[in-house]
């Protein structure tokens, strides 16, 4: 694609707009490792502070969290400035990737001008998605307090809450930019890992009772798995334990022992699978004896595909609820109040998803959502609410959810590799420009590309299928802290990748010539 052809993109007309948006300046030269660690820790602390800054004027008791089941993956905190989390950023990224990958938007990401336009347009789209996700929630489920309505009126109260959501969400975007440009890795990944780690910690060691309004008792034990286990074994005799307390400890939510076991299984399995790789031998063309290896990891597309498919499912759930219960969206022809999209029932604690397409792709909550109903009909979903599902429906939901996670992750893995210069051709050019080549092959990027085509496309598909399957399996097994299996999978992968990134940064600090090969700054 020539420069003239690429600049036909209509996105260039938006350049005057997104050039004026607040942004984080890219460093002029190399950022030292200590400086990167400083910004990484500072942004992490700021993130935790902001998750505890509540939205002013919000009625916290009557607020419904549309992203409750995806809260760990969205890296947000209900009712705080981080309420939307990384949702708008990820959604904007998905849309841009799909449009560029499908050639609907003609941009050559290898061209510096086109890449700058792509990043600017993505920033503009993030702002659009912030508004798209915040306005329906405020006009449907984020209720202003009576005091705020009495002081400034209902209309202005909602506008004030929307403004706070937009400010907090754009702040997340700027924090992500800061980590990407001045820190290590990605801010999005950092926030996900931090939120999941916090939930796992509290889900394991929380000593407060399940219902904090009531004193701790056998009927209201500590919420954390470890603390609940200790409490039962110190307050219940061995004979009494067989009367139902073992079942409570092992499988009954919240935070049963099986969920802790599931979390540990996922942790160690992901740690192992992250180390599986193919290493292509490389030799330097001019420096004799200088050899290296180019690793092609089995999880080649990283955990990005799972983040993207989870963001899509989260938005499906949000809009399904809006089209069913919101006064405006429920009047939309064909999809408004359509039970095939998703239907909800209110049992006193807010709208509860009870059927439709949205129910079949909603996140599984552990063994009680599929395995226990096989053995006992009492565990069928919504049994006590009068909207009982059949075992066939439960099994169909299980199959559909697993299939969506696996095939959706494969699709996004391919898009991610194609749009981030990780395909065979781009990698061949990177290896060629670093002065390295595969021993025994002529120094020609086309030959190197053919060698890489034997591995990268296959590994990309396997990568998407594995992370999607692992995430679905983890959700089937259940995890502590309501962090979701997908969240645990992402957190473990992110921590391992961050550790490896720190190692590369230290290596580049000691050997500056390696910066070009690893894609570091000058």
Q: Are residues 114 and 44 in the same domain?
A: yes
Between 31-35, 169-173, 299-303, 435-439, the lowest mean confidence (pLDDT) is in 435-439
**Boundary-marking domain end, from 174, 206, 238:** 206
> 134, 162 in Cβ contact below 8 A?
yes
Sign of CA dihedral 397, 402, 405, 409: negative
Q: Are residues 269 and 380 in the same domain?
A: yes
Q: pLDDT-based confidence at 129, cuts 50/70/90? A: very high
Q: What is the pLDDT of residue 383?
A: 46
Q: Are residues 194 and 265 in the same domain?
A: no
Q: What is the pLDDT of residue 459?
A: 94
Q: Are residues 362 and 281 in the same domain?
A: yes
pLDDT above 90: residue 457: yes
Q: Are residues 304 and 398 in the same domain?
A: yes
Instruction: Please write the tens of the pLDDT for every residue from 390-420.
Output: 899 999 999 999 999 999 999 999 988 877 7
Average pLDDT over residues 73-81: 87
> 322, 425 in Cβ contact below 8 A?
no
Instruction: Please write the tens of the pLDDT for every residue from 147-185.
Output: 999 999 989 999 999 999 999 999 999 999 999 999 998
3-state secondary structure of 248: helix
Average pLDDT over residues 302-328: 86
Sign of CA dihedral 132, 135, 139, 140: positive
pLDDT above 70: residue 519: no
pLDDT above 90: residue 458: yes
Give the rounded percent of residues in the chain with a pLDDT score beyond 90. 31
Q: What is the pLDDT of residue 1?
A: 42
Q: pLDDT-based confidence at 453, cuts 50/70/90? A: very high
Q: Are residues 236 and 316 in the same domain?
A: no
pLDDT above 90: residue 481: no
- DSSP H or E stretch at residue 280: strand 277-284
Tell me the C-alpha distance between 313 and 319, whole Å: 10
The dihedral region occupied by 443, where left means phi > 0, alpha psi between -120 and 50, and beta the remainder, is beta
Q: What is the pLDDT of residue 372?
A: 85
Q: Are residues 300 and 385 in the same domain?
A: yes
Average pLDDT over residues 90-116: 80
Q: Are residues 111 and 165 in the same domain?
A: yes
Q: What is the pLDDT of residue 2?
A: 43
Q: Are residues 348 and 459 in the same domain?
A: yes
Distances (CA, A) of 329 to 139, 140, 285, 320, 322: 11, 10, 63, 10, 6
Q: What is the pLDDT of residue 182?
A: 92
Q: What is the pLDDT of residue 165?
A: 94
pLDDT above 80: residue 292: no
Other Cβ atoms closer than 10 A to 79:
18
Q: What is the pLDDT of residue 350?
A: 64
Q: Are residues 18 and 65 in the same domain?
A: yes
pLDDT above 90: residue 444: no
Question: Could you tell me the pTM of the whole model?
Answer: 0.81
The phi, psi pair for 346, rounded to 5°, reads: -105, 115
Q: Are residues 477 and 395 in the same domain?
A: yes
Question: Which of 35-49, 74-88, 421-435, 441-455 tops mean pLDDT?
Answer: 35-49
**Boundary-marking domain end, from 254, 278, 312:** 254
pLDDT above 60: residue 503: yes
Instruction: Please write the tens of the pLDDT for every residue from 15-60.
Output: 888 888 888 988 888 888 899 999 999 999 999 999 999 999 998 8
Instruction: Please write the tens of the pLDDT for every residue from 221-261.
Output: 999 999 999 999 999 888 888 777 888 888 888 888 988 98
Q: Are residues 400 and 295 in the same domain?
A: yes
> 144, 158 in Cβ contact below 8 A?
yes
CA 441 to chain centre: 41
3-state secondary structure of 143: coil
User: The domain containing residue 293 runs over which residues?
Assistant: 261-522
**Boundary-marking domain end, from 197, 221, 254:** 254
Tell me the C-alpha distance between 508 and 522, whole Å: 11
Q: What is the pLDDT of residue 509?
A: 72
- DSSP H or E stretch at residue 351: strand 351-355
Tell me the C-alpha distance between 10 and 465, whole Å: 35
> 87, 317 in Cβ contact below 8 A?
no
Please list the residues that pair with 297 across neighbouring strands. Answer: 277
The closest of 198, 199, 170 to 44, measured between CA atoms, is 198
Domains of the chain: total: 3
Looking at residue 170, the DSSP 8-state letter turns out to be H
pLDDT above 70: residue 384: no
CATH number for position 63: 1.10.3370.10
> 63, 146 in Cβ contact below 8 A?
no
């Amino acid at each position: 694609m020539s420069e003239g052809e690429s600049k036909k993109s209509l996105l260039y007309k938006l350049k005057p707009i997104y050039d004026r948006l607040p942004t984080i300046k890219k460093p002029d030269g190399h950022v030292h490792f200590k400086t990167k660690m400083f910004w990484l820790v500072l942004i992490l602390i700021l993130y935790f502070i902001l998750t505890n800054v509540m939205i002013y004027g919000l009625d916290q008791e009557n607020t419904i969290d549309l992203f409750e089941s995806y809260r760990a993956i969205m890296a947000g905190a209900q009712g705080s400035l981080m309420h939307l989390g990384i949702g708008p950023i990820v959604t904007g990224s998905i849309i841009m990737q799909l449009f560029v990958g499908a050639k609907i938007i003609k941009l050559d990401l290898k061209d510096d001008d086109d890449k700058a336009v792509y990043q600017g347009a993505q920033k503009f789209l993030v702002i659009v998605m912030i508004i798209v996700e915040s306005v329906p929630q405020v006009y449907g489920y984020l209720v202003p307090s009576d005091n705020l309505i009495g002081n400034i009126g209902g209309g202005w109260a909602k506008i004030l809450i929307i403004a706070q959501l937009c400010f907090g969400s754009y702040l997340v975007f700027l924090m992500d930019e800061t980590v990407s440009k001045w820190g290590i890795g990605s801010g999005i990944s950092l926030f996900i890992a931090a939120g999941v780690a916090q939930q796992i910690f509290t889900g394991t060691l929380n000593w407060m009772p399940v219902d904090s309004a009531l004193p701790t008792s056998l009927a209201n034990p500590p919420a954390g798995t470890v603390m609940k286990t200790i409490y039962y074994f110190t307050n219940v005799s061995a004979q009494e334990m067989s009367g139902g307390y073992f079942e409570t400890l092992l499988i009954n939510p919240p935070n049963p022992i099986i969920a802790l076991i599931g979390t540990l299984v996922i942790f160690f399995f992901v740690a192992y699978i992250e180390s599986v790789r193919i290493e292509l031998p490389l030799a330097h063309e001019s420096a004799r004896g200088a050899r290296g290896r180019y690793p092609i990891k089995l999880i080649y597309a990283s955990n990005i595909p799972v983040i993207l498919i989870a963001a899509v499912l989260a938005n499906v759930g949000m809009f399904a609820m809006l089209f069913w219960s919101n006064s405006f969206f429920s009047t939309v022809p064909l999809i408004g109040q359509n039970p095939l999209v998703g239907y909800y029932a209110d049992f006193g604690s807010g709208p509860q998803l009870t059927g439709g397409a949205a129910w079949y792709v909603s996140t599984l909550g552990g063994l009680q959502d599929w395995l226990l109903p096989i053995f006992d009909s009492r565990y069928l979903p919504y049994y006590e609410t009068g909207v009982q599902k059949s075992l066939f429906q439960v099994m169909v939901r299980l199959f559909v959810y697993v299939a969506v996670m696996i095939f959706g992750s494969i699709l996004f893995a391919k898009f991610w590799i194609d749009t981030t210069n990780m395909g065979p051709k781009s990698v061949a050019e990177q290896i060629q420009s670093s002065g390295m080549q595969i021993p025994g092959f002529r120094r020609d990027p086309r030959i190197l590309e053919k060698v890489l085509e034997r591995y990268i496309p296959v590994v990309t598909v396997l990568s998407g299928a594995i992370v999607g399957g692992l995430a679905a399996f983890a959700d089937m097994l259940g995890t502590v802290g309501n962090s979701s299996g997908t969240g645990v999978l992402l957190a473990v992968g992110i921590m391992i990748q961050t550790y490896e990134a720190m190692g590369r940064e230290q290596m580049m600090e000691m050997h500056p010539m390696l910066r070009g090969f690893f894609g570091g700054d000058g």
